[in-house]
Amino acid sequence: MPHMVRLEKVVKIYGHNDTTVRALRGVDMAVDPGEFTVVMGPSGSGKSTLLNLIGGLDLPTEGTVFIDGEETGVLSRSRLSRLRLDKIGFVFQAYNLIPVLTAYENAEYVLMLQGRPMEQRRERVMALLETVGLQGMEHRFPRELSGGQQQRVAIARAIAPEPELILADEPTANLDSETAASLLDLMLRLNRDKNVTFLFSTHDPEVMTRARRIIVLRDGMIAEDKRTPATEE
């Protein structure tokens, strides 16, 4: 069985000439199916860049990224889009909701792109909105929701199509502790029951206490990679 995620000697450089920034410096790592892994490190360590490369939203300057055995850098644009659509769910720190769509429509969007039947979409989305505490708010637009509520919509959207891999960039940053805990518990259930692979970028201790593997980035390099005791039991 291939790794869900594999990076080989990945380098990412932004800018040109005197203004270049080496966001990642030769990263080698692999994440197996069913892992619940946190990437942590100080601001500017390369966490968001790493997730963007894994998600196919950007390409490495050097090195290779594989998702479920497929090398993303050699895929056509349409094939890469299909890979993201079918296998990856994203939770962005900036939410990335579509402003002209309601909470329901944002959460439904990927299911529509996948061609799911309308009744199946409705049942799935309504159940998820209730799970994330947004029942009764399905017709509100992002501008009518608080930051925490928008993040909950983003999490529902990521989970809705039941992807094999979910990439979450600071998913609890705008949530109160109770909501964050309930959503993390939901993600753990998906991980345990459906074998969904989770890769988080976070500073949140609550996320880290649930992680079964912690990868520490410093200056664009992996400084530490450790399994938690729960994994080894």
**How confident is the model over 48-62, as pLDDT tens digits?**
999 999 999 999 999
**Structural domain for 181, as ranges:** 5-98+146-232
Residue with tokens 């990076």: 7
CATH number of the domain where residue 87 is located: 3.40.50.300
* pTM (2 d.p.): 0.89
Give which of 146, 161, 148 is closest to 89, Cα–Cα. 161
Average pLDDT for 23-33: 96
In this prediction, residue 233 has a pLDDT band, given cuts at 50, 70 and 90, of: very low
| pLDDT attached to residue 148 | 86
Q: How far apart are CA 31 and CA 112, in angstroms?
A: 29
Query: 108 in a domain, yes or no?
Result: no
Query: 140 in a domain, yes or no?
Result: no
Query: 122 in a domain, yes or no?
Result: no
Burial 14-47 (b: 16+ CB within 10 A, else e): eeeeeeeebbbbebebebeeebbbbbbbeeebbb
| pLDDT attached to residue 230 | 55
Domain count, the chain: 1
Query: 66 in a domain, yes or no?
Result: yes
**How confident is the model over 110-158, as pLDDT tens digits?**
999 999 999 999 999 999 999 888 999 999 999 999 888 998 899 999 9
In this prediction, residue 179 has a pLDDT band, given cuts at 50, 70 and 90, of: confident
What 3-state DSSP class applies to 198? strand
Query: 9 in a domain, yes or no?
Result: yes
Query: 111 in a domain, yes or no?
Result: no
Query: 213 in a domain, yes or no?
Result: yes
pLDDT(3) > 70: yes
Query: 129 in a domain, yes or no?
Result: no
Average pLDDT for 214-233: 83
| pLDDT attached to residue 31 | 97
